[in-house]
Structure 1
C-alpha cells in the first residue's frame, strides 16, 4: 500500500487531520481522542507485555478505516458540527497516522 489517493488513510487524513489543531482550544478533546486512539490500537494490536510500545502498521490501520467507514455508510452517518463518536474515532486515526508517520514515503 502506498499513500496514493486510493489509500483510505489519505482521505481520512485530508478530512480529519485539521481537527488535531483544536487540541489547544479544547482540552477535553485531547483525552477523548487519546481514548479512541487506545481503542483503535486495542483492536489492531493484541495486548503486549512489558514496556515495548505498540506498533501501528499502515496496512492494518487502513483495513480498520475501510471497515469503520463502510459501517458509517451503512448507518447513513452524517458528520455533525462538533464531535460525536465517529468524528472522535476518525480524529484518533489521524493522530495515529501522525504519531506513527504512516503516510511517509
Structure 2
C-alpha cells in the first residue's frame, strides 16, 4: 500500500482515508478490539487539539511527515501509527470534514 502517493499533501485527510482509513473503518465493524484502540487514540486527539478541519489536517500533515522521516509503512496490522491514522480518519468522517469539495 502506498500511503504517500503523489499529491497526498494537498488533501491529507482524503488521501489517508482512501489509502488506509476506508479499510480500517470497515474492519472496525467486526473487530471490537480495534474499535477500543481507535477510540483511545481519538480521545487523545480530542484532548490535544481543537477538532476542526484545518487543525486536524495540520496535525495529520505533521504526523505523516514524522512517519515518512522514520520510513514507516502500513503493514496491514494496526500498530500505533496505523491506529492514530485510523482515529484521524474516524474523526474526520464523524465530523463531516470529508463531505463537499473542499480540500481536506
Category of TM-score, reference length = shorter chain:
0.7 to 0.9
Corresponding residue number in structure 2 for 1:78: 73
Q: Give the drift of 1:81.
A: 2.6
2: CA distance between counterparts of 1:70 and 1:23? 26
Alignment of 1:1-105 (within 5 A): 6-15=10-19, 16-45=21-50, 56-105=51-100
Q: Give the drift of 1:24.
A: 2.4
Between Structure 1 and Structure 2, how many residues are aligned?
Answer: 92
Q: Deviations over 1:12-69 (max 9, x none)?
A: 1112222111112211000000000111122213xxxxxxxxxx20000000000000
Task: Name the Cα RMSD after superposition.
Answer: 1.6
Unaligned runs of 5+ in 2: 1-7
Using structure 1 for the length normalisation, give the TM-score: 0.80
Runs of 4+ in 1 over 2 A off after TM superposition: none
